[in-house]
Amino acid sequence: MKQIAIVLFDGAEELDFVGPWEVFTMLSQAVEGSCNVFTVSETGGQVTCAKKLRVLADHSFETCPPVDVFLVPGGMGTRREVANPAMLAFLQRIAPTAEVATSVCTGSFVLEAAGLLTGKRATTHWGSIDRLKALGTVLVVENTRFVDEGKVVTSSGVSAGIDMALHLVGRLWDPPTARRVQKYMEYFPDPPYGDVAIPG
């Protein structure tokens, strides 16, 4: 059974982690014994997210069990977390033994600050692409939903985390299982304004 940790902090963008949470917990229901999904924050307990959703983290950094996969969401809180020694030390501690480190949206900046993206291809929210390029440590990929570098997988903004999580289900389990999860979620995007162009 794979242990999947969702790393939370104040100011995390809700859909960045709730979308992947839905994918992985749906997997746990579809395939018994496949995974255990939990949340972790610096001190445990309540986290207030970007749009004021309040979440109770299951573990603190200190009590977090070993993980196979971990996810760092984006949101305005990442501006603080890139300089949070406790966050960076935690990621550096769990990354070597984890199978995959992942990020959604500007969570990639937190992975970068922890030294997990150096020299790797990665992506982020379209509005932060230039900022990621300016760091000079990452091979930035634009106009993509996610980038799989094996040990590290990053996705672009917000809803792209769902696509990345489904990709990981297909990679770590198998594509038929990922298709089952996708069907159970009824995730077949057909937005009413599908012709929206990204500014810039």
Contacts 24+ apart (CB under 8 A), 37-40: 37/4, 37/6, 38/3, 38/4, 38/5, 38/6, 39/5, 39/6, 39/7, 39/8, 40/5, 40/6, 40/7, 40/8, 40/64
Q: What's the CA gap between 65 and 59, in Å, rounded?
A: 8
Name the DSSP class of 50.
T
| Alpha-carbon torsion (165, 169, 171, 172), positive or negative | positive
DSSP letters for 70-122: EEE--STTHHHHTT-HHHHHHHHHHTTT-SEEEEETTHHHHHHHTTSSTTSEE
Catalytic-labelled residue, pool 35, 49, 64, 105: 105
Q: What's the CA gap between 70 and 68, in Å, rounded?
A: 7
User: At 61, phi and psi to the nearest 5?
Assistant: -60, -35
Q: Is 49 a residue of the active site?
A: no
Provide the annotated active-site residues: 105
